[in-house]
Amino acid sequence: MEQTLSIIKPDAVAKGVIGKILDRFESNGLKIAAMKKVQLSRQDAEAFYAVHAARPFFNDLVDFMVSGPVVVSVLEGENAVLKNRDLMGATNPKEAAAGTIRADFAENIDANAVHGSDSLENAKNEIAFFFSGREIS
Ligand code: CMP
């Protein structure tokens, strides 16, 4: 059993597809072990994406992530990290396979509907960024 962090980004929340995206997780064997809707501050977004701080897209990424509320959840299941990434599809929705969340709901590489942890180690850090132990069950 693994846990991974998912963020439904401001574009998908604004579009009203929170439920449709959560259904992809639950229908594919990922249990929602914790969830909340939050408005990130600039400081939150900069800290969460600190690994990308030197990248040219960093400011646009932070601007976008604070542009509206997001839904953050802990997904749990067998191979949860990889399974979530498969369900999301490629970072750039133009390259995402048919039937993936990004192919179906994302606009472009910035407004790409969802974030998911890319390794088990990052998942642990990203989960701890948003949730305390008692919020996860
Ligand atoms: P995410 O999985 O949330 O991780 C970092 C985000 O940066 C990524 O999704 C994209 O939304 C955004 N981004 C913008 N441009 C790029 C790029 N060239 N390469 C990777 N990520 C990018």
pLDDT tens, N- to C-terminus, the chain (137 residues): 999 999 999 999 999 999 999 999 999 999 999 999 999 999 999 999 999 999 999 999 999 999 999 999 999 999 999 999 999 999 999 999 999 999 999 999 999 999 999 999 999 999 999 999 999 99
Spot the catalytic one: 115, 116, 117, 131.
115
Q: Is 52 a residue of the active site?
A: no
- Count of beta carbons in the 10 Å neighbourhood of residue 37: 12
Does residue 59's CB lie within 6 angstroms of at least one atom of ligand 1? no
- Cβ atoms of 115 and 70 closer than 8 Å: no
Altogether, the residues listed in the chain come to a count of 137
Q: How far is CA 58 from the centre of its chain?
A: 16
The predicted structure's pLDDT at residue 72? 99
In 39-92, the DSSP E strands lie at 70-77
Measured by CA distance, the residue closest to atom 7 of ligand 1 is 61
pLDDT at 122: 97
Token pair 């400081």: residue: 43
